[in-house]
Chains A and B, each alone.
Chain A
Amino acid sequence: MASLLEVVWEPFWKILVSVALLGFLAVSILLASLFISQNVNSPKISRHGAPLHVLIVLGSGGHTTEMLYMLNKTAFDPSIWAYRTYVTTSGDNFSANKAAEFEAKLSGKLNDTVNKPDLPNDTTELFERIKVQAENKQELANNKLNKANYPTSGDSYRIIEVPRARKVHQSYLTAPFSTIHCLWSCLLVLLGRFSGQQPLPASYESTCPDIILTNGPAVAVCMMLAAKIIRFFIFTARWLTGRGSAPSVARLRTIYVESWARVRNLSVSGKLLLPVADSFIVQWRTLEGRQAWPGMKKTQYKGWLVI
């Protein structure tokens, strides 16, 4: 009679070997697709002057501030960056307000230069402004409570609030679940199926944005992974159906700008996204030329983007 050990051992090693093989296969596919994705150029199609849908990820305070400095500095043409989707995390009204404030400025000054910092010309004007703010007690109360006090969508923009990947002080045990929740929400946003999401104008053929612009909050990691997952499925489907690997229009291209505060070491988000981003920008020479592993894309230095 076979001992209990022998009875258990036989299926046990079979399962072990299959799991190992499947894991190896999954890791190989992952590494191969990351490699292909960073080394194959998107199709060369003239889209000069075509309206773009740009998705901008705003995270916590510091990241939002830096992102808005970048947007303010960039005198982009609102007829080319025609539709902007801002993604913020739940409860972060600071970011939502900043985005709406930026949009208000953009629509008010379409013909004016938008890259000038929003400063009054002299101190008297500054005092006037502070006085107006002080008189408007409601606005003051809103500011204090950090409530949303701007419209969350307009003709050419919308602000979407997704759940946080990890709340401050959240346990690391439950963090993986909330991260998956955040990733799932990001997938739905990109596919245009997130609940309560303002639909895009009908003139856009795809719900997917053309460009995703991020600079490091946790939700950026989820958003860029979500974009890669969608691109992986599109790529695989085209390859399996024999329609060639290249889609006719390049969408969901990701640009990651490392925080200006990072001088010698990449941030955690940066390290995670280094093999994922289509374009990885650093703002200090010391970080130029880094790559996830040999053969992958290198970080680029383009000067300071925030000032």
Chain B
Amino acid sequence: MELSGLPFEFQLWFGNWIVANCDDDSDRNIEFFDKMEKDSMRLCLVTVGATASFERLIRQVLNEQFCAQLAKYDYTHLLVQYGKDGEDVWNEFQKKFPRGCERLHGIAVAGFDFRPNLWQYMRLATNDQNQKLGIVISHAGTGTILDALRLALPLIIVPNPDLADNHQEDLAFEMEQMKYAISANSENVIRALDIAEAHPPKRLSRPHGPDDALIGLVTDQLQDVD
């Protein structure tokens, strides 16, 4: 990671920017980026989306047991987008495991509530330069799944059981059938991580459908005859 040339203010700014809503814990984020600079980074990104709260998934990853498992597989960083109503869990976690706490097995943890664009963070989990290929653990949000496919990132999909409509579970099931992702529920995230390490999901190397499908549809509609 080529961060050494950049001034310290930037790192601080970057830190604050990532957790603009909790300025008091910028220390934790400095730690996160310091570590990014020193080590060859392997990131686990957890995201729950903006619209619904998904406290159960957040609680599953913000604990000692999960960090131990991450450490076992040489992960170095855990970045959590905790979303709506997740701030309490995040603050609780911060109190329980202050910065530099050894019980986190050396995993640097940072969190933020929501950003309009997550791909920048997902990008940190790819294996270009000296980072190692990380993993994305996500609710079944379409945008996140598509971004992970586009960046060829291993993906664990955890559908939110609190949502009335079950179409997310259909999607997760289908993605697992196609071996593009691992489907899990919020109770067995650790097991899903084990599976992902043993049998990494398939990576989408090229676009899935034809590029001109939309153009063809429009042409059909206008009954274009030459």
Contact = CB atoms under 8 A, between A and B. Distances in A.
A260 B209 contact: no
B167 interface: yes
Counting chain A CB atoms within 10 Å of each CB, the highest count among B119, B170, B171, B217 belongs to B217
B23 interface: no
Contacts of B20: 140, 144
Interface of A: 41-48, 52, 54, 61-62, 65-66, 69-71, 73-76, 81, 94, 115, 117, 119-120, 122-124, 126-127, 129-131, 133-135, 140, 143-144, 146, 210-211, 213, 250, 253, 255, 259-265, 267, 278-279, 281, 283-284, 302-307
Contact of B116 (A48, A143, A264, A304): A143
B1 interface: yes
B174 interface: yes
Given A73-B207, A115-B211, A122-B129, A265 B170 contact: yes
Nearest to A259: B142
Given A126-B120, A127-B6, A134 B211 contact: no
Contacts of A265: 167, 170
A123 B124 contact: yes
B195 interface: no
A210 B3 CA distance: 51
A47 B222 contact: yes
Contacts of B211: 73-75, 115
A278 B220 CA distance: 10
Contact of A279 (B51, B116, B124, B220): B220
A127 B2 CA distance: 9
A45 B14 contact: no
10 contacts: A44-B225, A54-B218, A62-B143, A123-B123, A123-B131, A130-B14, A143-B116, A213-B218, A306-B146, A307-B204
Contacts of B124: 123, 126
Given A119-B119, A265-B170, 17 more contacts: A42-B221, A45-B223, A46-B224, A123-B1, A123-B129, A127-B14, A134-B10, A210-B222, A213-B214, A261-B168, A262-B167, A262-B170, A284-B174, A302-B213, A304-B209, A305-B209, A305-B213
Contacts of A210: 222
A70 B209 CA distance: 11
Given A211-B218, A250-B222, A303-B210, A131 B6 contact: yes
A148 B76 CA distance: 38
